[in-house]
Amino acid sequence: MTIGYFAPLPPGRSGVAEYAAALLERLPSARANRDGDVNLYQLGNNQIHRDIYRHAIARPGVVLLHDAVLQHFFLGSLNEAEYVGEFVFNYGEWSRDLGKDLWRNRARSGADAPYFAYPMLRRVAETALAVVVHNPAAAETVLRHAGQRPTPLRVVEIPHLFVPPSEPPAPYEVVRLREALGIRPRTCVFAVFGYLRESKRLMSILRAFAKARHNADVALLIAGEFVSDELRRATEPLLDAPGVIRVPYLPERDFWLHAAATDVCLNLRYPTAAETSGIGVRLMGIGKPVMFTAGDELRSIPETACVAIDSGPAEVAMISRMMLWLAHFPRHAREIGRRAAGHISTHHNPELCAQAFLRVCREAAQTEDPKCA
């Protein structure tokens, strides 16, 4: 059995591309961007998935949803008439006016909850031979919005694989980086990595940090590119505050070096697309405590292996309190990181994840053509 493998790949600057390359290495029967006995498609909200999505509809196969919400993908790839038509296809003629409203107000789609409440998954869920997701919340979202099929949709949860750095940074490199960034040896460094969008709660993090730094020796590293000019302008005054360190997009080697220099990662998501953060998995994998927004996405992670932050009115206060706790009690932070690394090592092993994909693809191929094995 051959697997047609359709996904963005490096040098594309996305977490999905890095994930796709790591998985491809572990699927010897996979052929990048070529049809096989069964095709594996990786889809997300980024426009780099446009041709992959079209091929997934034209020739159904196994679909890996990195985001269980394709709403923003359609907002970026369709015109108004096409978008409204796709919305009606998903939710019925009664929803036409809602679809028009969402299109007209799409500038707010990065932060407004209604855009995440309508994931627009019906077309891909109705055609796919199977859908793979990374967490229970994503599985439930797919099943809830799958539409009608002659046979039940098979949704499989496979953990987001973790591949450690091939050349971990040496301790002296970490010390040098912290010195270059003006970070004292005992300062607790909190960090946000990746593309900076409204749903990553950057404003809340900056406000919480402004409170925490009056009562603890802390620094806040923000590494990545802004997705929207509005968020960049809104955060500019807080980014210039004392203790905030701003760096741009980090290539792979530099990412691991900055990750090693971090004490705690902040990986919040609200509203959520039910995604599993590759950055969060990476930081947990190297033994760093990670703050996540509380939700069903965390159901597979032990409570003692991460820090859950409630969304809502108390968000800023809770982030600030957790910052103070982890800064004042570093041994607690190290213990959370140790448990995180143990969980990732056991459940996110890349070889085991690849074997799970191979099983799903083999079963899908046999369903489509019993002669395939």
Query: What tens digit of pLDDT does each residue of 155-199 get?
Result: 999 999 999 999 999 999 999 999 999 999 999 999 999 999 999
In the prediction, which pLDDT does 373 show? 44
Q: CA 47: distance to chain centroid?
A: 15
CA 366/CA 73 separation, integer angstroms: 31
E strand or H helix at 42: strand 38-43
Three-point CA angle 181, 183, 184, nearest 5°: 150
* pLDDT means over runs of 10, the chain (373 residues): 96 90 96 96 94 97 97 97 98 97 95 96 96 97 89 95 95 98 97 95 97 98 93 93 96 96 98 95 98 96 97 97 98 98 97 98 81 48
The one-letter amino acid code at 79 reads N
Sheet bearing 30-32, strands edge to edge: 30-32, 3-6, 38-43, 62-65, 130-133, 155-157
What is residue 369's predicted lDDT score, i.e. its pLDDT?
A: 56
Q: What is the pLDDT of residue 190?
A: 98
List, for residues 30-86, the tens digit of each pLDDT value: 999 999 999 999 999 989 999 999 999 999 999 999 999 999 999 999 999 999 999
Q: What does the pLDDT read at residue 195?
A: 92
> For residue 11, which phi and psi values (nearest 5 degrees)?
-85, 15
* Rounded-to-integer distance, Cα 125 and Cα 276, Å: 19
Q: Model-level pTM? A: 0.94
Count CB-CB contacts under 10 A for residue 217.
13
* Residue 15 main-chain phi, psi, to 5 deg: -65, -35
C-alpha separations of 88 from 100, 106, 191, 326, 339 in Å: 10, 17, 41, 48, 46
Contact between 197 and 275 under an 8 Å Cβ cutoff? The reply is: no
Nearest to 66 by CA among 228, 296, 273, 354: 273
**pLDDT of the residue at 194:** 94
Burial of 26 per CB tally in 10 Å (0-12, 13-18, 19+) = middle
Amino acid identity for residue 213 in this structure: R
Token pair 């409570």: residue? 303
Which amino acid does the sequence have at 265?
A: C
E strand map for 115-154: 130-133
Residue 247: exposure state from Cβ atoms within 10 A (0-12, 13-18, ≥19): middle
Domains of the chain, start order: 3-70+119-161+349-368 (3.40.50.2000), 171-347 (3.40.50.2000)
Paired residues of 40 in beta bridges: 5, 62
Give which of 355, 332, 252 is closest to 28, Cα–Cα.
355
How far is Cα 20 from Cα 6, in angstroms, rounded to an integer?
A: 9
**How remote is the C-alpha of 239 from its chain's centroid?**
23
- Answer for the pair 287, 338: CB distance below 8 angstroms, yes or no: yes
Contact 128, 61 (CB under 8 A): yes
Three-point CA angle 219, 221, 227, nearest 5°: 145
Quote the CA–CA distance of 205 and 195 in Å, as a whole number: 15
User: CB under 8 Å to 63, separation ≥6 — which residues?
Assistant: 41, 43, 56, 124, 128, 130, 131, 132
In sequence order, which residues have a C-beta less than 8 Å from that of residue 295 and are 6 or more positions away?
137, 272, 311
Alpha-carbon gap, residue 87 to 49, rounded angstroms: 19
